[in-house]
Amino acid sequence: MILRKAKLADAEEMHTILNKYAEAGLMLARPRSLIYECIRDFVIAETDGEIVGTAALHILWEDLAEIRALAVKEGFRKEGIGRKMVEYCLREAGDLGLPKVFTLTYQQGFFSKLGFKVIGKENMPQKVWKECINCPKFPNCDEVCMELSL
């Protein structure tokens, strides 16, 4: 397996992987337009030429970024791919000088193992919520907000 930055040619497969989880209510749906607009945010996990996972580090401000759109294809889960993609994003955040990273997730145990701590959503700046308006669960979000200081 290799990790690499996403390319425009990856967008359709990324869209398929991400929206499979969105259809199951496990993450926010990502329209193609948003994937293309944010392609530079994404890291891809690839095995034998097949995209098997995706994650993104989305910068919100000088001191804050979000790990989002973390998804691993069925049949490739429980192999450490998600952890490796998050670690890739965290290294990138560190290289950029970001002091903290957060995520909104249903996978609290997974992120806890990586050092993230649960924080109250009300402590997050409003700019964090700009995409939430597109979520079918808005305004009753049931995701857990977690943060990691770098």
Could you give the C-alpha distances from 7 to 17, 51, 78, 89, 93, in angstroms and in order?
15, 11, 25, 16, 20
Is the model's pTM score more than 0.85? yes
Helix (H, G, I), strand (E, B) or coil at 119: coil
pLDDT digits (tens, 9 = 90+) for 131-142: 655 656 555 667
Q: Of 24-33, 85-94, 98-107, which range is least confident?
A: 24-33
Report the mean per-residue pLDDT for the chain: 90
Q: Is residue 22 within a helix (H) or strand (E), and if so which, with residue range?
A: helix 11-23
CA 113 – CA 142 distance, rounded (Å): 21
CA 139 – CA 132 distance, rounded (Å): 8
pLDDT digits (tens, 9 = 90+) for 4-55: 999 999 999 999 999 999 888 888 888 999 999 999 999 999 999 999 999 9
CATH numeric code, 2-149: 3.40.630.30
CA 67 – CA 124 distance, rounded (Å): 14
Domain ranges in the chain are 2-149
